[in-house]
Structure 1
Amino acid sequence: MADRHIIHMDQDAFFVAVELRKNPALIGKPVIVGGTSDRGVVTSCSYEARRYGVHSAMPSGRARQLCPHAIFIRGDIDAYSKASHEITDMIREKVPLFEKASIDEHYIDMTGMDRFFNCMQYARELRASIMNELQLPISFGLSVNKTVAKMATNACKPNGEKNVEQHEVQSFLNPLSIRKIPGLGKKSFALLSDRGIQHIFELTQIEPDQMHAWMGRNGLGLLQKAKGIDNSPVVPYAEQKSIGTQCTFHSDTIDIGLINTLLVSMVTDIAFQLREKKKLTACITVTIRYANFEDVSKQAMIPYTSLDSALIQMAKELFKQVYQKRMLLRLVGVRLSHLVNGFEQIDLYNKSEAQYNLMQAMDKIRRRFGEKAITRASVVDLKI
């Protein structure tokens, strides 16, 4: 099997970087993007703010205590989504195969291309192009698989680049904290720490049977990563899975009120699925089927989101656009695509914290009692 050449590219403090591009006067200052009230959450922060101990997912009140002179910005998801698409478009033009892993990171598979040019030099030139044309900082790691490439990126941030060749993989990984392993959560870290395992080298000394006894299949996966083994492919961006649902009516209908209510119910269900998968969507499609079996679809690109309200509004707007013949309808469907990994707080910029807290509370009820345990009042009496 040929040696793999995987590049991981990650924007440095992406949301902050976009804000600095809009307002260069903020450069060099402690900037925090996220909820501005004490009950809000830090979504991103500049490296100047990080020196005071501020980090993402920290309550804004705590961040303000650590760095009283920080500049808080509520954020602009439209601008961040636009910048993300700009970066993706540049990468798409220049590489044979890439995966958009989140709003601000990409994996690029250059395997086989080393026969024609130096992959490290190519990655360096691509990075320079992005920074020069888009005025956004970016770091990258190049290695033999996705896990090591991502860890290489994290090791050289901010504004860095690092190549970890096959013969260097284990020596690079061994001294790192197990915290650095992608996908290792708080519970796994606590379990391993309680057993005296703090560094990757110590983890590599554990027998597979013992790891399986401690953590099951996940433990074996962590052990593989600690040994620099990761066979997961770079998934072409165009093939990213979507989430959707559709409903065929018992009787063909022209009841617009009923259909709009149904759209609310459908979007609420799939938006919950989206959040459970820790995904964001940038595209929504509404499909209808007329009584004569003609299918018509309409889609729209939207700022990255996972919240019901924005998606419901867009679904209703798309239905208005797609339903033109005033004929009876047999079916309506909604699909969310262009999915990337992300976190719910990204939508906190556009919604009040009360709305956001309500959504979180409803999701907790759904997880405990089932998806249908709580819903919007408007769809309670829905009959189709």
Structure 2
Amino acid sequence: MTAQAPVDDAARRAPRGLVYVSDESPGISRLRRGDGFAYRRPDGKPLRDADELARIRHLAIPPAYSDVWICPLPHGHLQATGRDARGRKQYRYHAKWRVARDESKFERLADFGRALPRIRSRVARDLAAPVGQRVLRDTVLAAIVRLLDTTLVRVGNDAYARENGSFGLTTLRNRHVAVQGDALTLRFRGKSGISHEVALQDRRVARVVKRCQALPGQELFQYLDEAGEPRTVGSADVNDYLREASGGEFTAKDFRTWHGSVLALQLWCALDPTEAAAPTLAGAKRLLGEVAARLGNTVAVCRKAYVHPGVLALLSGERRVDQPTTAPRRAGLSAPERGLLAFLKALG
């Protein structure tokens, strides 16, 4: 299984009452028994404790999942993992962990910015790898991460695609992407029914997409396993790739938060000094409207989820700083990204 972030690093971020665990350690196993399941403890003995069985039922692990691992601790941050029918690894996290991760996303934004050069370097290496007979998993994941980073499109969710007919990168169908030479155009219905049309030039991503479109099936992003069978990828696979590439607990969602905050600060820096010195609510709303349009969100969602509170305070006038000139050079980051990193460092 893909290695997770170092335990001592992640443990410091675990909310009070939880412990960081890994599915590489012994866990509870699930065995098919008639129309249901039996469970065995890490020592191989049958699990019969009523409270533990109730906890497992509450996790609602789909019956079709294979290679199921269940945390033996009710307070483990990761409660279960398994493989879905398409072979993709899926995760069940503790509710407190999910809440804490959402609340801490702005706190880890600077860490994400510092990790971006490593992520981008890994993506570039995987996209530049020689093309053999098979479409490789890491090559496909690298293409998805490049698109996350350049188009700001959501990573996608099977449930949204299945229940709402709304798509993200990992759930795109072949019909959603047109490739002409090095140019790609993505046209699809996203979350909340918003129509997206995104055009970009990327020779290596275009090459991967064309190879994927040649594989059987409607799903766009697939790879061939060692037996030559096509396999799809999901958001969990993308997040595994990001953990491995960065060495940290980052997810696909961090790209939208990062770029939303970068763009908001960049727009503020581009204001006339007089306007920047006397901000208004109307001016802040106008700038956030531009960010929201780029992300495909409403201003309210953008303010709540995708722009760092320190940058919001700057736009509204609650925080006053001089408009920066240039930030120190840092390989792998654009000038606006370096500006945000310097701003976050100054916040302390």
Fold agreement, TM-score > 0.5: no
The structure with the largest strand share of the pair is 1
Calculate the TM-score normalised by the size of structure 2. Answer: 0.31
